[in-house]
Structure 1
Amino acid sequence: MTTTMHPDLRDTTGSARPDLRRADGSPVRVLVVDDESTLAELLSMALRYEGWEVRSAGDGSGAVRAARDFRPDAVILDVMLPDMDGLEVLRRLRGEAPEVPVLFLTAKDSVEDRIAGLTAGGDDYVTKPFSLEEVVARLRGLMRRAGRAAMRSDAELVVGDLTLDEDSHEVRRGGDQITLTATEFELLRYLMRNPRRVLSKAQILDRVWNYDFGGQANVVELYISYLRKKIDAGRKPMIHTMRGAGYVLKPAD
């Protein structure tokens, strides 16, 4: 599987604000079904980063039991499972929850699996290897297209006069649009999801670049300086250095 993934995969404490929620404000629920435990855990971490509640199963019978108890809002389902194939799991899931969106995981060269999955009633598919970001984006789209009244969007982060739209990737300060590179955007998003919280260089490396990133901490200093030039230039600063501790973003005084 590719290692392109959302930052902050280790942060399951709820600091990431969900952009899809149920009508009662509780997180959306996603069931991950895959017999590859490492892949299932990576998927679960990526979804929890979005603020979603996740449960996993390693085989078809476990998936059916989990779905009955968990009542997911969406399901990620591998076609190849040890006890029954994903198509049979889908049939059983739909017998109890006919409208739940299902995203199939298929082998890269298995056109037959993809066709069979969609014909059987699957809503979408991704082929292995895939990026975790793609899976999250596909799930968002499936849940929104399903037209579930339980879903609502909350994709804008706001700190002081600084706003960041996680869907459109638009950033504004005081109404002025700010253009960021992809890495600058991820860094700012992480800072804005943790306002007034001091974040160490190690935390930022882990969550913005890659959880197993082996680079040097000076890349953090470099990108913080890039952000300051775009966010703070000519304005009261929002990004502050806490000597010996890290960086913090907070509303300008």
Structure 2
Amino acid sequence: MPVLNISSYKFVPLPDCAALRDQLQERALALNLKGTVLLAEEGINLFLAGPGEAVHAWVNALRQDARFADLAPKESWSAAVPFKKLLVKVKPEIIRMNHPTIRPDQQARAPALPAATLARWLDQGHDDEGRPVVTLDTRNAFEVDYGTFEGAIDWRISKFSEFPEAVQAHREELMGKTVVSFCTGGIRCEKAAIYLQQQDLDGPVYQLEGGILKYFEETGGPHYQGSCFVFDQREALGAALEPATEIQRPASEAHRAPASS
């Protein structure tokens, strides 16, 4: 398949995000890339697609900025570009939580759990200390309906800004357990895990490194049921990171613009 799709994010201070927007847009237009790049003072969140050489050229140029030198986008391939246009925007947050005390660009992130470790823990039914493990889906309800981990906690939130309130309502559900928060590509569960760490849950809190898509890439998807909704015209990906051929669609499909991960 000729089209390379990438997604990535990084929480890093970007006081110059307005000027950076013009630079990144000009470069993407010159390479005929399509997708979405979101910038904020807290970092970058991107989804781009195009010919492989062009996509890699854009990423390599971005890495010349020391703040993005370690950026490692997740890659998948498709037969066609799954975006209609290019959108490069500056926003207040690269993923909206509406909780100003949560600033991953200024705080230590929660421990990141490798995909293989989560798969092993789910195989054995507990973590390496014998503590029960719960997987916490931080995505919106309609995304969860496409697929999720077996037995995952799903609070049926309709937008990520509802997550802190949901934690307060269900806090006892997490007490004393090893909590692994997850999302599509890692960005939401990075904020979510920091918030969870602040709640004194009497147990460790992790974020799944790279989210569901990295889990698919590195493990093949054991203990995951269904597909993973993605915010582009492919709609959902299976464990092989190809457009899902059989999709269990929610009854109400309130698809959002490609601005979350």
Q: Which entry has the higher C-alpha Rg, 1 or 2?
A: 1
Asked if TM exceeds 0.5, the reply is no
* TM-score w.r.t. length of structure 1: 0.27
Larger relative helix fraction:
1
* TM-score w.r.t. length of structure 2: 0.27
